A and B are shown apart, each in its own frame.
Chain A
Amino acid sequence: MKAFKTSKRFFSVIIAAMLILSSFQAFAAVPEEERKPLNIPEITLENLQVRGGSPTYLVDNPPYSETPPTMKDFDFGPGSDNMQNSYIVYNYGNEVMIESLTLIGWWPKDQAVKNISLEYFSDGQWVMSQENIEVPWKTTGGTEEQVDIVLSQPVQTMKFRIKINSAYHSWSDKICMHLMRPNGYIVTEFKPLTDAIAQAEKLISQVLIGDKGGEFSQESVDNLNEIISQINSDLNEGLVTSDNIPDLINKIEAAIEEFTASQNPMENAPKAEIENLSVSLGNTEYLTDRQISTGITVSVADSESPAYLTLDFSGKNLKATGITLLASASEGFTLNAKAEAEIDGVWTEISPETELNYRCDVQGTEGHKITFDSCNASKFRIKINSSTAESFTIYEILYDGTYATDMSALYSLIEKGTAVAENSDSANYPDLLDILKISLTKAQNGEVSAYSTQEKIDSIYQLLLNAVEAFNNLIGYQKGDVDHSGSVNILDATLIQRYLVHLLPSEQIFDNKLADMNDDGKISIFDATRIQVMLAK
């Protein structure tokens, strides 16, 4: 019995030791030399406002001076003795181990954080790691002081946050820190997966749902949303391991492909082509689908040669004055580019080289325009001479311009219609005359030539034609309208001249009575001159 009790005690000790050892092993699983340093997290503030500087300074603030202050200020607030629900959240996108925190304050006992709590995200919720830590600043004026806080127990998480319970505020409610950096290492690299999720989320967040060309169905949006939600949920619940990350990324990419394949086809859109650009994601149809979140991720294939983005309007002439590229990258970048148009079969420069500087920080999508003098062509392209980004995404190519229209038939009809309106016989038909006048006013409106499509111009033409033809057989022809065209023009004067030298074709309509402009009973050069004088007025 005693032996059994002894052995039972022995085994308990062994089991306890094993448990303790395994817990150490969990934390000491990654040898120091193999540890991947923490990546720069996405930092957000809750119930705090940025007052100056960038949140990134909190984790990445290299010294710029040898004498204090050696680092840049990150100002935020409001700080007080009793702050409520004020957090700085660090989202790593990877599973990380946080072991300690480094704080660097500037005039710390006047404007640094005072009391903080540390929390980490686990199983879908925030968990307290260490509560009410009074930061042991020693100094006040003119000093930059570093304090390191070692976590009593390192935490493994994807998101970490510092709750600011109180702050020093000698002068105002502004808090100033030079560093608030969690320290540790990456345990599992989820970032490729979280990047893929972010890409899918951005795609969904700004797409247009509907029946128009380039739009998506509600069903396809819901399907992609469901997949994103499921993977996010697995991440939050710690169900994702380094083994299944590649599969999940593939799942998202397949879902994105299926989603984008469900896009409504575009009509009346130019075709986009690319040259000397390697595509890692997307296709060229996204460049003209008028969606600001579908795009094509490219990199210049041969950096010694320019790259091209071409818009082909399939033979329809566009009168353009500018081309805009909507693009983005992981950080700000510059494209050196110029615009070209295919004129008489030859690519011709139509703009000087322009620097397009993308900040990559806008709420929508950032676009930069290359402008040029009005140019008529059915093909335009952007020639990219250089890019400071290795890889960038182009979301859309927009153009400023309208399709060229032909107003000649309408102008000719306006002339005829005006002659009919001015014919004294027309007054006998006041209703038809009103319709004609109204149709003429429509046709002569300046906006028609400047802003109308050919379809609209043709419709106005038809309206006017109907109004003019309503007078057929109701009124005579005007004096001088020798060919019965419906209006007096220079051709009538020419026909009189031809008549006088006997060069009038036999089939040509020639009204002798209307040609006799001065009613002297004969046709002479004076009649032709009289028409010319009339037209000149």
Chain B
Amino acid sequence: MKKKLSKIISAAVAVVLTASISLAVIQAAYSSKISDSKTYTFDIGGLTGDKTTALLSENPDRGLRMEAYLDVATGLSLFEHAEEDAFQQLQDEIDKYKSDSPTLVQVYFYLTGYKDKELDQTAFDNMNRYFDMLEENNLKAVLRFAYIWDDTNPTAQEPKDDMVVRHWEQLSSFITERRDQISVLQAGCVGAWGEWDSGAMSRVDDKKILDAIMNNTPEDMYVQVRYSYIKTDNFSKDDPNYNRIGFHDDFLIGNLHGWNTAGSDPTSDRYKQMTEESRYVPVDGEMIWGSANDYYKGEIGGDYISSIKMAQRMAEHHFTSLSLTHNYKEKDGYYSMEYWKTEYVNQKILDDSNLPYQESWFLDENGNNLPKTMFDYIKDYLGYYLSAESAEAVVDGNKVTATVALKNYGFAAPLTLDKIELVLLDADGNAVSRSEFCSLDELQSGAAVEKTIELQRPENGRGYRLALRISSRNGDTARLANDIEYTDGYNILGDLI
């Protein structure tokens, strides 16, 4: 009996051992189909013009932007919306421009009710509620604080400089907390609508107020000023804050005008200064109200503002954003931007006008030419317009050496984004290796940046994906203008399989 049992046990053990060995043999015999030593060259085409506006308009921190107002003391809006709840006005603005898919809104926070006193909890509650609403709608702010909304009686609403300074001290933590929702800050505070008119400037200590702004805002936050001399008169070039200061031009009419940020003389030093500096600091702008077109007809040179001249100015001075609210369809009017929607151009016209574009932007999915409107052109090329021109990866064991060229066809470098990274993803879409691709200011308008970067491949014989991730501070990502897969915020350059 004992002998029989031991024989049975031995046989069972033998079976198990044989099975295990067989499985091990089978598994040992299996080798991965994915090479550990290979060069991949990826075919990356440009996005065609029949898709760009739909697929790129949600790219963050650039483009056409809305405008909204909050009286922080009352929670009401201002101007023609003065009787309205500011939050409703914001919602109305969002609804009105929904088809244009803006991701930015210029937000005026009027501190008029606090011109003689410190900000209180009501003010912060209203501001926080406003930013919560921006977040819910995936919008970021081009933020401006102001006091004076009544330009017929400005001194009645004008605070003392010390009060302005105190307000900035109070706002500091709010701005820091909301940092990721603020694309750019505008200096504001001085003059009607915070636009630093000469009369108001004569009554304030510019430097005191500007220092208060710079000292109470994060060091990596850009601050835009209305006129170029505001920057140069108050900051020397070796001031650490000098390179934080950008511009906003609130009198765009196509033709140059004395009320432009750098004046109307393109041969002047200040104009040249803006041309050069706007490469490295963000620029925002707005046209005049459409209802004023008739009044400024002579200056404009016609019934509406020239789209080509606007594009040329914005390309020259590297504009990142432009108001949608001005000279488009405000108060149910039909103004310049509506006209631009009817102006069809082709490559020849843009070439003759020295305006940049990506070749595929003028093609459709069949490879045929596709005339496009000047509205679409300005909408797509404001700020950054990034395209991968080439991508190659050399796999050698656990090392992946990727060479990628990225080009910016847009008007401006992506200065208000957070970072651009080259990433290796596993098959489940998890990032397993990443490296900064380039600094944001390297991607100047018209520049192509090629980098060779080493990433680590965790496991041999496995499949990975090479991707570019272009991130905003709040986690939003941007899509490249390429006919490639865009998944979970990753622009997939190619698969290492």
Contact = CB atoms under 8 A, between A and B. Distances in A.
Interface in B114-162: none
B51 A438 contact: no
Interface stretch (B29-37, B167-175, B285-293, B413-421): B29-37
Contact of A268 (B255, B349, B366, B426): B366
Interface in B308-343: 308, 339, 342-343
A363 B345 contact: yes
B429 A292 contact: no
Contacts of A291: 346, 369
B371 A52 contact: no
Interface in B334-388: 339, 342-349, 365-371, 373-374
Contacts of B11: none
B365 A402 contact: yes
> Which secondary structure characterizes the binding site on chain A?
mixed
Given A402-B50, A434-B497, A50 B298 contact: yes
B395 to A, nearest CB: 13
A83 B67 CA distance: 44
Interface string B463-486: 111000000000000000000011
A434 B427 contact: yes
A35 interface: no
A377 B127 CA distance: 50
B369 A208 contact: yes
B397 interface: no
Contacts of A267: 366, 368
A268 B339 CA distance: 30
Nearest to A326: B344
A292 B348 CA distance: 10
B464 to A, nearest CB: 8
Interface size class of B (residues with CB under 8 A): 35 or more
Contacts of A361: 302
A75 B373 contact: no
A152 interface: no
A396 B367 CA distance: 17
A365 B462 contact: no
Interface in B255-284: 255
A496 to B, nearest CB: 33
Best-surrounded residue of B32, B339, B344 (most CB of chain A within 10 A):
B344
Contacts of B55: 447, 451
A441 B370 contact: no
A498 B168 CA distance: 77
Interface residues of A, number: 51
Most buried by A among B27, B371, B486, B495: B371
B463 A368 contact: no
B428 interface: yes
Contacts of A348: none
Contact of A51 (B33, B50, B299): B299
B343 A51 contact: no
Interface string A94-118: 0000000000000000000000000
Contact of A428 (B27, B339, B465, B497): B27
A364 interface: yes
Contact of A215 (B33, B50, B369, B463): B369
A434 B426 contact: yes
Interface of A: 49-52, 75, 174, 205-208, 212-215, 266-269, 290-292, 326, 359, 361-368, 396, 398, 402, 428-435, 437-438, 441-442, 445, 447, 451, 453, 470
CB-CB nearest 3 A-B residue pairs = A51-B298, A434-B463, A434-B427
Interface of B: 27, 30, 32-34, 50-51, 54-55, 255, 297-299, 301-302, 306, 308, 339, 342-349, 365-371, 373-374, 426-429, 461-465, 485-487, 495, 497
